[in-house]
Amino acid sequence: MILYGEFRRLWIMLYAPEAQALMFGRNMPFVWEPTPELLSHTTITAFLREHGLRDYEALIARADADPAWLWDAVLRFFAVRFYRPYECILDTTAGIEWPRWCVGGETNLVLNCLDRHRGTPTWTRTAVIWEGERGERRRLSYAELDAETSRLASVLRALGIRRGDVIALYMPMLPETVAAFFAIAKVGAIAMPLFSGFGPQPIADRLNDGEAKAVITVDFAWRRGKRIAMKETLDHAATEAAALRHVVVLARGGGDAPMCPGRDLWWAELIRAQPPDSPTEAMPAEAPVMLMYTSGTTGRARGTVHTHCGVIGKNLLDVGLCLDLKPTDRWMWMSDMGWVAGPKVVIASTLLGAAMVLAEGAPDYPDPGRQWRLIERHRVTMLGTIPTTVRQLMRHGADVVAARDLGSLRAVVTAGEPWNDEAWLWFFEHVCRGRIPILNYGGGTECGGAILIGSFHRPLKPCAFGSAVPGSGADVVDLEGRPCAPGEVGELVLRKPSIGLTRGLWRDPAGYLESYWRQIPGVRVQGDLARRDEDGLWYMLGRSDDTIKIAGKRTGPAEIEAVLLASGMVAEAAAVGVPDSITGSALVCVCVPAMDANDEDRLRSTLAERVAERFGPPYRPRRVLLVPELPKTRNEKIMRRLVRAVLTGNAPGDTGSLMNPEAVEALRAAVHRAP
């Protein structure tokens, strides 16, 4: 492992002006490497030993050659429980686009997340640690979580909820949210997690698309000191939801929310007389357990379908094997159930007998150091975050981080957006303290998890992923499907079926094939740009929809944004391509200044010059716009599609995930104001 002082010197060297060519890891040395002692204790090492494999590279080679072997081995290694064993792990007779997994088997997510721990030492250990925005704290053991889950499951059965019914979950991150998610799965229904920040229209759209029979919600939630009337928002959406029959409401704000007689029911009253145990439905392994809608950053939100065996297997491979989450860990990710990270923390933690740390609200409210205080107080060992959040926290300065004891952390998992070098290195120095790895996790809602992933078995460079997920057959190809050479940007694709992939799109099999399997023959296109370097590390560079092609060269927005952010003059940036009658596409950069700009014209000119110096004269931005904030989803992803729509005057598409509509208005004003 690189020493802390050596890392400091490397960081200074990297940001010397002559070192800008090192962007995104090209010709850059490793900044973190695992020790033999560390590797000896990983779950991967135990798995390698069980199967007689030499090293991690040997695992990837065998898994990609025989995915069926891998998934069967993972399910057996983690002792996944089935009511009825599967007869065949993988059947592709309907084509690689429509694989069937665990054929003939019966199981249930709850059987493996809760029921399996009954009668073991895990049963009395902590499952959920929760802290509210106003400082409230609660804990649930596995036994207590199971009892709350069972009571609500009995309620759902009494309300007539049956196997295959869709039940929406519109809640902030609470202990009851976890119980509700598992109660839905326990009765064989399908959970539809919704962003807790949605307005009425996106809720109504999803309720109707999924034909949800019921919604579980709260009367009020808290975010950044504001009391959010979630039940009232749901009431507006419910007027358009034709299939909706029941709304179960958890009281947090005094129980004074308006209730619709015959439809709305209070959680506490319903569960009061219910027993603390309830049977778990034996479900076909391929029965859907979760209907997860894409975030809408790239267009219309669509429902992805995830099955019991798919959710179990994918989380065990990604989180249990590659990320090395153990029963002794405490995993915190300040996310939302409406983004895949929320259910992932809930599912993976309980599958592996670990503890999840949930925190309602934002990482920097009511004070800039809230996230670091939570890590210190609850002795968090695995932290999840996204690069956009890191860039925001950087504004508060390193002293806020330094004031807290983060010694309990042994790894950080990051996802959601491409990194830039400056933010990655800041985080590695001040949060990881140069000693623990940043494990990048890149995939998508449609994948049920990662395509590219970090692990303790791979060295690190800034912004890099250690490898493709074993068994995925991941590759980087050009538009004709030819593999790209190291350093070349191409489409991230899968050549092999994966147990975690969505089983199509909800009610849209043709759309699924067109979107993922018909773009490049013979491979599944994920919709992300990627690149590999000479050392075999991978980099994700943004969505393919966001590709900027100028003078015949395809570039991901993250590369351009990294140059802008490295200037130190920009806190956030979005680079997009707009139509140009001569070059086909022109570059526009929308930036949030790092501080008040006294001379905006000079700042624009300087930033444009930086980009032109790095990428060449054809990439000189047509315009550089300065705005107070960028449009983002609730989980802090920059909505470049929406930025492009404002610049071109096109329809914005789905805006249900938009967190800050005022940013769109500010951008429109900047478009008309700036030269």
Is 554 found in the same domain as 526?
no
94 within domain boundaries: no
481 and 615 inside one domain: no
pLDDT digits over 539-559, tens only? 998 777 777 877 666 677 888
Residues 612 and 522 in one domain: no
Per-residue confidence (pLDDT) for residue 220, from 0 to 100: 93
Three-class DSSP category at 641? helix
What is the predicted pLDDT for the residue at 280? 98
Domain with residue 484: its CATH number is 3.40.50.12780
Q: Give the burial string for 499-533 (b: 16+ CB within 10 Å, else e).
A: bbbbbbbbeeeeebeebbbebbeebbbbbbbbbbb
pLDDT for the residue numbered 3: 42
Characterise 164 by phi-psi region: left (phi > 0), alpha (psi -120 to 50), beta (else): left
Same domain, 217 and 312: yes
> Do 335 and 532 touch, CB atoms closer than 8 A?
no
Q: Is the pLDDT of residue 104 over 70?
A: yes
| 395 vs 246, higher pLDDT | 246
**524 domain-assigned:** yes
Does residue 8 carry a pLDDT above 80?
no
Residues 188 and 211 in one domain: yes
Range of the domain at 197: 106-532
CA distance 241 to 454: 41
Inside any domain, residue 204: yes
| Domain contains 4 | no
Spatial contact of 32 and 2, defined as CB atoms under 8 Å apart: yes
pLDDT digits (tens, 9 = 90+) for 423-438: 999 999 999 999 999 9
Residues 518 and 653 placed together within one structural domain of the fold = no
DSSP string, 51-72: TT--SHHHHHHHHHH-HHHHHH
Look at residues 532, 561, 594 and tell me which one is the last residue of a structural domain: 532
Predicted local confidence at residue 299, as pLDDT: 53
Please report the pLDDT score of residue 24 as a whole number. 45
CA 576 – CA 553 distance, rounded (Å): 14
Whether 470 and 579 map to the same domain: the answer is no
The predicted structure's pLDDT at residue 672: 85
The verdict on residue 97 lying in a domain is: no
Give yes or no for a contact between 353 and 117, defined as CB atoms under 8 angstroms apart.
Answer: yes
Per-residue pLDDT, 19: 35
Sequence-distant (≥ 6) Cβ neighbours of residue 5 within 8 angstroms = none
Report the alpha-carbon distance of residue 515 to residue 525 in Å, rounded: 8
- Encoding tokens for residue 428? 């590695």
Tokens for 210, please give them: 């999924």
Q: Which residue has the higher pLDDT, 1 or 353?
A: 353
Domain boundary among 502, 532, 562: 532
**Residue 64 is encoded by which pair of tokens?**
């990609």
- Regarding whether 401 and 294 lie in a shared domain, the answer is yes
Nearest to residue 14, comparing CAs of 399, 402, 396, 420?
A: 420
Residue 93, classified by CB atoms within 10 Å of its CB into exposed (0-12), middle (13-18) or buried (19+), is exposed
Contact between 418 and 541 (Cβ < 8 Å): yes
Burial of 66 (0-12, 13-18, 19+ CB in 10 A): middle
656 vs 202, which has greater pLDDT? 202
Give the CATH number for residue 556. 3.30.300.30
Show the tokens assigned to 268: 């506490």
pLDDT tops 60 at residue 495: yes
Arithmetic mean of pLDDT, 153-182: 97
Q: Report the distance separating Cα 507 and Cα 179, nearest Å.
A: 28
561 with 510, same domain?
Answer: no
Kindly state whether residue 198 falls inside one of the protein's structural domains.
yes
Q: Is the dihedral of CA 81, 83, 86, 91 positive or negative?
A: negative
What are the pLDDT digits (tens) for 570-619? Answer: 999 999 998 876 666 889 999 999 887 778 999 999 999 999 888 888 88
Backbone region of residue 150 per phi and psi (left: phi > 0; alpha: psi in -120 to 50; beta: other values): alpha
- Asked if residue 641 and residue 505 are part of one domain, the reply reads no
Strand partners, 223: 226
Task: Tell me: do 271 and 244 sit in the same domain.
Answer: yes
Asked if 213 and 260 sit in the same domain, the reply is yes
Contact 103, 82 (CB under 8 A): no
- Please choose, from the candidates 122, 104, 103, the residue with its C-alpha nearest in 3D space to the C-alpha of residue 112: 122
Task: Round to whole Å and give the CA distance between 603 and 624.
Answer: 9
Total structural domains within the chain? 2
Using CA atoms, how far apart are residues 649 and 672, in angstroms rounded to an integer? Answer: 12
Write down the pLDDT at residue 294. 81
State yes or no: pLDDT of 290 exceeds 90.
yes
Q: Across the chain, what does the average pLDDT equal?
A: 90
48 found inside a domain: no
Q: Which residue has the tokens 């962003």?
A: 195
Model confidence over 349-373: pLDDT tens digits? 999 999 999 999 999 999 999 999 9
Give the Å distances, CA to CA, from 643 to 172, 566, 638, 640.
28, 21, 9, 5
Q: 32 in a domain, yes or no?
A: no
The structure's pTM equals 0.86
Tell me what percent of the residues of the chain surpass a pLDDT of 70: 93
